[in-house]
Each structure stands twice: as structure tokens, then as C-alpha cells.
Structure 1
Amino acid sequence: MAFAAVPASQSQASPAERDIAAFVRSEMQERQIPGLQLAVIQQGKVVLKRNFGLASLQYQVPVTDASLFSINSATKAFTGVAVMQLVQEGKIDLAAPIGQYLSGLPVAWQAVSVTQLLNHSSGLPDVLDPRSGKLVGPQPDDADAAWKAVQALPVEAPPGLRYRYNQTNYVLLAQLIERQGGQPFVSFIRHRQFDVAGMPHSGFGDAKDVVVNKASSYVLDRDGKGYRNVIEDFPVFMRAGAGINSNAGELANWLVALQSGRLLAPASVERLWQPTSLNDGKPAPWALGWPTIGRAGHRAVAGIGGGRSAFYVYPNDGLAVIILSNLAGGQPEQLIDTVAGFYLPALREQRGGAYAAHLLRNKAASAGFDGLDTKLAAIRRQHGLPDPAEDDLNAWGYRLLGRQQPKQAVAVFQLGVQLYPQGANGHDSLAEAYEADGAKDLAATHYRRSLELDPGNTHAVARLRALGAD
């Protein structure tokens, strides 16, 4: 299928904007993403907004500025803002136990703090069964039965001991916001955030709701050769955790409003994005409703949802990037640092490996997969980029395997092993590619090397046994 950008102002685009568009189109083709929106905010202004591909495969409807995308769990960022709005008004204390605000909770739940709910360190049982993805309890579509069932389960850890992503936390936060905010959660978000920021078309809904201009959501077939519709189900009682539909333009309005003091005072925004800690002082992966992107410089906080939509804010750099797509598993968050690198040269030097992988992939498509290391060295010299990350190469190699291109996958995994020789996963991946290509002896060699590096690699043990090489 064709993945083309809506041509809006292509003739007026800067070289960097053309390079960004080429990168996005290439990644859409590689990841098989049908439709996508992109927006970049710099110093409080939207400096780039583009639409790509199709909002509906069935009806061949292109993505436009009006197209709405599910942001899934990125909704939690709005919940974090809502809590901080009530903190700012003196109606919530982040350190207070949830039992101070909500009555009737199990005794073991009552000491969990508001912060521990926001950063997923509560230790509470999950209302979503992690194995099935369905609500817990005997009736997987009954919200009341699920909420009763989860409260009967034992806690999984003391509050603050460890991080574990958990939907129960945000069910409780919705109840907290409703009680302290004096209105239903969805109404609170509408009146206190959507209306203030200028988001008239954004709202809550799933597959049961009629949402005007909603881009259809898809997932790839297991063989990667076709698409299936995603039937989105965001129960009303869980909508503090997922359920917003929006577009890149209106999300940009929200981020500008958030950073310009219209939703929160600057000190409250700083607290919202401040890293949190576990009981032992180690950093938790989340701030208050926002995942933190940990690294030495150019820190970022994020909203990430459903493997299909994401936004990063770089607070110290005056930059934000939004990418929304309609493919579950498309992982657009993996593209954001590369886009940001066009505006932050130092970030490109630090995190430009994904762009190096993109350029190498294009070079391999035109000049073959022989000598990938030499091709990569030339790309790095020309563009001043770091090596691709091990994960970038691994993902590329597995996409090639999924397309029944084992020889090309071998070449990519060989490069990964050359760059990261102590990576057990890289040797395991290379072994899989050799096995798919019929080179059983080479496969066994790299399965053994993977086991040397990671004695707990049960996959390598199983494959060596299957190859008769254990």
C-alpha cells in the first residue's frame, strides 16, 4: 500500500522538514503503519504539523488535521494533570494515603499514597488480568463484578517497594478526582483541560461509541501480511487510564497550555514531571502520570499509549514531539527522539542511532546487505551519528525474518553482534536467523554463545535441544 504525506505545504518545507517527512514515511513503510499524525512544538509554538497515510484502509480515507486517534494509556498524563490541579487548590495531598479520601477500600489498600498510585508503585492487584487482558472476575465484561473481585485479591507488594504498571491505580485516581473535584471524571477533564486548552473535538470513547472522524485502529496479522481491526474497549470506570481520542493539533494545544500556565502554575508542572522514587531511594520509572525517559541529558517525560500513540516533552529544551498512529504495535515512541534530533543537534549526537539505522536500511535496499559495517561507518562519518542501538538492529532483523528474508536478517544480526558482542539477545537472534536459513551448525554456535552470556536463556536451551545440539 502507499504511504504518502498529505502535500499541504511540501513546496515550502525546509530541508530538515523534508528529511523528517522522508524518515516518517520510511518508518511507516517498514512498520506497516497505515496512518499517522506528527506535530512538533518549539518554544511554545507549533513549528511542524503533518499528516501521513490513511485513517481508514477499508474506505481509503486519508489522514487529515481533523482525524482523531486513540491515545490509549497516554490518557494517564491527563489524569496526572487533573490530580495536580486539585493539589494546587489544596484539595489533594500527594503524600496522603488514599484511604484518607475514599471510604470502603480494603484495609490493605488504604495506606497507599496518591503518589504511589500515580507512579505505579502501589503494590495493588491489577483489575486487568495480565494474561488475558480482560477484567478480573468470573464475568469479564462486568465492571462492578471486576471491581469487587479485584478488592478480594491479595496485595502483591508493600506500597512503594517496586514498580508495576497497574490499571487499578488509575481506577482509584478517577474516584479521587470525582470526589475531590465534585464532578464525574470525564466532565472534569472536559471542563478543566479540553475547554481551557482548545480541544473541541477531543473526547472519550471506544468501539461502542460513535466518534466522528475517528481513525480506524488496526493490528498486523501474525504473519505480518495483512491487518485486523482492533476492537477498542475502554470501560467507563477505567477511563482515567485510557480512552481519550484526540489529534496532534489539539494535543499540541494542550501541551502549550500546560507549559504556559493556563492549566497549572509553573511550579506545579515542575512537580508533575519531577522523577519519583521507590522506598529504597531508587528512581521509579514514572513521574506523576507521565513515564520518565531516563538518560544523562535532554531529559524527557512522555505519554505513551497502546503501542500506537505517544508524545515526548523535553522540559529543559523547550521542545515537544507528538506522533499518533492507527497501528497497535507500531511503537511510534521509538521515532520521537529522531524527530527531536532535527531540532536538538546534541540529542542527535546522543540518540541518533535510530536515524543511522534508517539511513542504513535505505542504503541496504539500494546497494544490498553485503558489508553493512562499512556502509554504516560511511553513514556515521557523513551525518555525525552514533551507532544504532542493539534494539534498533534487533527489531529490523526480526522484521526481515517476518518477511521470510533470512539471509538479509542474518546480515543485520551479524552487524548487531559485531557492535554488541556481549549481548546475549543478539547472539540468540542471530542464531534464529541462521536456523531459518538452514545453517544449523552456525545457529547452534550462537545459541551456545548466548547461553554463555546468559545462562538463564531458556529459549536457547530449547532450540539447542530441537537441533540435537544440546
Structure 2
Amino acid sequence: MLSRFLSGACALLLLLGAATAQDRASGAPMQDGTGDFAREASALIDSHARGGVFSGAVIVARDGIPLFRRAYGMADREWAIPNTPDTMFRIGSITKQFTAAAILKLAEAGSLSLDDPAIRYLPELPPAWAPMTIRMLLNHSSGLPNVTALPGYATQLGRIERSPMETVALLYREDLLFPPGTGHEYSNTGYILLAGLIERITGQSFARYLNDAILAPAGLASTWDADPGAIIPRRAAGYRRVSGEWRHALPLAASAPSGAGMLASTLDDLVAWDRALFSGRVLSEASRRAMVTDYGHGYGLGLYIGTAYGHRLWSHGGFISGFSAIKDSYPDLGLTIVVLGNSEIVPAQALSRQLAALYLGEPARTEISVGQTVLDRYVGFYRTGPRSVLGVTRDGDRLTAQALGQGSTESRITLVAESDRAFVAENGAIRVAFDIEPDGRATGVMIHRDGTERAGPRIDRAIARRITARRFTRLPSGR
């Protein structure tokens, strides 16, 4: 997120000439087509906002200067307060790159080595964890199970205030997923443990050390601990959908996410973070190289390492109660794209990759791979009107949907995943987002088509039979 860049500079950029048709066809970046890009980006995000799928803020910046910066939807639905480009959002696991930078800062000071076993500083860890190094925690090769996957985490465990090490202790009796260093499994637990390690070494709270060592030197005045009990100016509320209706996100203890996801930030601060991190203002060149080294699984230290549209991409998403976000950095282009949403159905990654495709003049490649187990959760029937039902089935690795009911002549459509709960028809004309509970159960659906929105709860087959009456024999099997 970028320190507040002058609106005058933005206006000047919007006056620059359009890219030539030849440049667009060849896939060349829109170096001189900022106005065209802003219009195309606006049309893209507007379509998601009108459909109710997107509420939040978006920025695309080149060399720190915004090319597109807008906000959509409500920061507070109860008071009808709109989001703005300066609104603060929880960023979830984007926090991990800040935690990684804090560890690297301690390594630069000689307070630790990345290849030290964590148990050297935290002797209370179980003996089976002894081979686990700090680097393994950072790159998710430690074998630690995910504390957020424990039964009852969202509804019970995650609502209790604990120190980082008290949270980690919930897993002391659990088996490791694999011997440390022999596999890869994304783990929030590892980053919570890293926060505890920082507290042990520095004698400070994790939040205090992070601010003093990383946030303040980077000039990030709008990146804070997202403590739900704190008064944070311009903070958005987080929302979820249940049975076809908007609800507040489930509560989460202030201490629960810790080094794995505790921060809130803004568009401008996250762009500014990219500039500070990769310019040498925060970390040494050796530390920066360590962050963006792929350790064999497409992950560095707090960042996913890969490519998109033929360009290097350093990226991380964030999902936390009521919020969905992503920050994509294309280092060879000087391009940063940030999508911050304050609802759980925001397809942040798909939107970011579509924006990159627009900028590069490339066809968008945004379909998300969603496992069949997840897709199966959505199979069933949803009431979308007094006499209408949406039937959802799975066909291989895709969902299909069909409007059912008296007078309906709709054919079945195939849905492409934009996230694990938001889908779009192959022709882009229809968007479908599912409401889910913390245990993964689908409870409702929201459909946007032709400028109108319908939402409704999930229903069982017997109710679907009564609603659709004579047309029941045409209902899909739901399998």
C-alpha cells in the first residue's frame, strides 16, 4: 500500500495517450495506455461489484505510481458507509511476509540463524520438533499441522485470547504431518510459532517489535495490528453470507492470528511496502534474495514464488474472518496489484490476475483449481424465488447449474471457479457465489445476471419438489 500519492499525479497519468492496437495485440505492457487501462480495469471490477461479489478496494501501481485506484461497496453495511481507497482492511496471511522480514532482520543482527533449530530458543517444544529449523517454519517445510484446522477452531478455539506459544501448545500432542524438512504443507502454526520466537528473543511483544523493526522504517503509517477491540480509524467491517443473507464475520480473538495473519493495512501502504522491501530500505540484499528463493515448492519466505503471463510473480493472498485479499508483485515490470475485500466471497486472486492480463494485453488465465471435495459441498438445491430453484451438480472438476421451476426453459451452464466459493459462467454473463459455514457446509447462494441479483438459502430435495411441483422430474440428481 502506497504512502498517499498525489491525486494530481494520478490525473496526469490518466491523460497519457492510449496504447496502439498493435501493442495490445502483441501483449506488450500498456506503457503509454494508462487511460485505456483504467477504463478497462474499472469495467472489470464494476462487473464484480454490481454482482455483489466484490466489496473492497483495488490498486494497480507501476513503480509506486497508481494507474488504477478505486474502492467499492460498503465498509459498514449497518451505517451504509462506503469503502474508500484509504479504508483499512484485514490482510490475513499477507502478514506472513512481514513476519518473515522481522525474522530476517534478527538474522542480520546476529540474534539467530535461519538454520538454527527453533527448540534452541523455545526449549518447551516437544522433542519430536527438535529437527525443525527456523527456515523450515518460514517456508512451510516443518511438518507442523495447521492450528486453524483443529475441530472447533472457528467457533471456539479461535475466540480465546492466548499468547503465540499458548496457541502453538494446542498442537503439542498432535503428530507432525511429516518429518521436518521432508515435505511441504502450508501452516499458519509455523508463523504463530515464529511470532513466539521473536517475543522470546527480543523480550518485546511481536506487535511492538514488528512496528519498530519493520513497519516504521518502511514508512507504513496505516499498517496496524488488527485487534478487534482497538479503535482503528477508517477500518472496514468484515462480512460473510449465511443462507442467502449478509452477516457479520465470526468473531476472532485479537491474539489468534498473530504472526500468521494479524495485520490490517491499506492499498497505499501495501504498495509502499513493496517499494521499501525490494529497494533495500528494510532488508539487506542477501535477506531479500532469501525471501524470494523458491525452496522447491513454489514458496520462499512469506511469499509464493512463480510466474504469470511470462513474468516473475511474488505473491501472497490472505483470508481471515470476513476478509479476502491478495498482493501480487511483478518485479521485472515494477508492477504491484493489491485487491482488498471485506467479504469472504471476494475472488481476490482471480481479480488480481485479470488486472495483470489487462495491463499486459494478454488473455486472462484466472481459473482457480478447486478440489472435488470442495465442489461436492455445493451440490444441491437453492431457493432463488417463490417458485424457482437453482440446481447445482458436479461434472468432473467443474460445477454446473440450472434454473428450475415452472416456466423455466434454462439450459444447464458450466461454472468456472474464480475462488473456492465464487464462480462465473464460461461466457461471463452469470456469477454465482456460495455461502458457507466454518465447517464448509453450503447454506445459500447469490446469483448475479443481467444487472439483477438473486439470493436464497439451500433447501433439501423434498422442498425443491414442492416448489417446482410438476417439473420435479427434471431436477438433476444432485450427485
Alignment TM-score, normalising by the size of structure 2 = 0.68
Farther off after superposition, 321-330 or 192-201: 192-201
| 1:173 alignment partner, SS class | helix
Q: Counterpart of 1:288 in structure 2: which amino acid? A: L
Tell me what 2:265 maps to. Answer: 246
C-alpha separation between the residues in 1 aligned to 2:193 and 2:91?
Answer: 20
Residue 193 of structure 1, aligned match among 214, 217, 237? 214
Residue 242 of structure 2, aligned match among 200, 221, 224? 221
Q: CA deviation at 1:71?
A: 0.6
Q: State whether residues 389 and 404 of structure 2, in contact with CA within 8 Å, keep that contact through their aligned partners in structure 1.
A: no
Question: Aligned ranges for residues 126-141 of structure 1 at < 5 Å?
Answer: 126-134=146-154, 141=160
1:314 aligns with 2:330: yes
C-alpha separation between the residues in 2 aligned to 1:73 and 1:232?
Answer: 17
Structure 2 CA distance for partners of 1:177 and 1:53, relative to 1, 3 Å: same
Tell me what 2:279 maps to. Answer: 260
Question: Aligned ranges for residues 50-89 of structure 1 at < 5 Å?
Answer: 50-89=70-109
CA deviation vs aligned residue, 1:257-286 (integer Å, no higher than 9, x gap): 11211111233222201111xxxxxx3242
Residue 425 of structure 1, aligned match among 381, 391, 397? 397
Question: Aligned ranges for residues 420-459 of structure 1 at < 5 Å?
Answer: 424-426=396-398, 429-430=399-400, 433=402
Aligned residues: 378
Q: CA deviation at 1:150?
A: 1.9
C-alpha separation between the residues in 1 aligned to 2:252 and 2:89?
Answer: 14
Q: CA deviation at 1:218?
A: 0.6
C-alpha separation between the residues in 2 aligned to 1:310 and 1:68?
Answer: 14
C-alpha separation between the residues in 2 aligned to 1:436 and 1:97?
Answer: 62
Tell me what 1:360 maps to. Answer: none
C-alpha separation between the residues in 1 aligned to 2:369 and 2:201?
Answer: 46
Determine which structure has the larger helix proportion and give its number: 1
Q: State whether residues 205 and 245 of structure 1, in contact with CA within 8 Å, keep that contact through their aligned partners in structure 2.
A: yes
Farther off after superposition, 200-209 or 305-314: 200-209
C-alpha separation between the residues in 2 aligned to 1:103 and 1:242?
Answer: 25
Q: CA deviation at 1:44?
A: 4.0
Structure 2 CA distance for partners of 1:234 and 1:329, relative to 1, 3 Å: farther
Q: Counterpart of 1:183 in structure 2: which amino acid? A: Q
C-alpha separation between the residues in 2 aligned to 1:140 and 1:215?
Answer: 20
Q: State whether residues 61 and 337 of structure 2, in contact with CA within 8 Å, keep that contact through their aligned partners in structure 1.
A: yes
Q: State whether residues 97 and 114 of structure 1, in contact with CA within 8 Å, keep that contact through their aligned partners in structure 2.
A: yes
Question: Aligned ranges for residues 322-337 of structure 1 at < 5 Å?
Answer: 322-337=338-353
Gaps of 5+ in 1: 1-5, 277-282, 355-387, 418-422, 444-462
C-alpha separation between the residues in 2 aligned to 1:231 and 1:408?
Answer: 28
Tell me what 1:111 maps to. Answer: 131
Tell me what 1:305 maps to. Answer: 318
Report sequence identity in percent. Answer: 24
Q: State whether residues 53 and 62 of structure 1, in contact with CA within 8 Å, keep that contact through their aligned partners in structure 2.
A: yes
Q: State whether residues 154 and 250 of structure 2, in contact with CA within 8 Å, keep that contact through their aligned partners in structure 1.
A: no
Tell me what 1:48 maps to. Answer: 68
Q: CA deviation at 1:140?
A: 6.5
CA deviation vs aligned residue, 1:275-312 (integer Å, no higher than 9, x gap): 11xxxxxx324211123345683231222111611111
Q: CA deviation at 1:230?
A: 0.9
Q: CA deviation at 1:112?
A: 0.7
CA RMSD of aligned residues (A): 4.0
Q: CA deviation at 1:22?
A: 1.3
Q: State whether residues 170 and 238 of structure 1, in contact with CA within 8 Å, keep that contact through their aligned partners in structure 2.
A: no
Q: Counterpart of 1:298 in structure 2: which amino acid? A: H
Determine which structure has the larger strand proportion and give its number: 2
Structure 2 CA distance for partners of 1:339 and 1:111, relative to 1, 3 Å: same
Q: Counterpart of 1:154 in structure 2: which amino acid? A: D
Determine which structure has greater relative contact order: mean sequence separation of CA pairs < 8 Å that are 6+ residues apart, divided by chain length.
Answer: 2
C-alpha separation between the residues in 1 aligned to 2:150 and 2:74?
Answer: 32
Structure 2 CA distance for partners of 1:126 and 1:69, relative to 1, 3 Å: same
Q: CA deviation at 1:15?
A: 1.9
Q: State whether residues 206 and 232 of structure 1, in contact with CA within 8 Å, keep that contact through their aligned partners in structure 2.
A: no
Q: State whether residues 388 and 404 of structure 2, in contact with CA within 8 Å, keep that contact through their aligned partners in structure 1.
A: no
Tell me what 1:29 maps to. Answer: 50
C-alpha separation between the residues in 1 aligned to 2:477 and 2:268?
Answer: 57
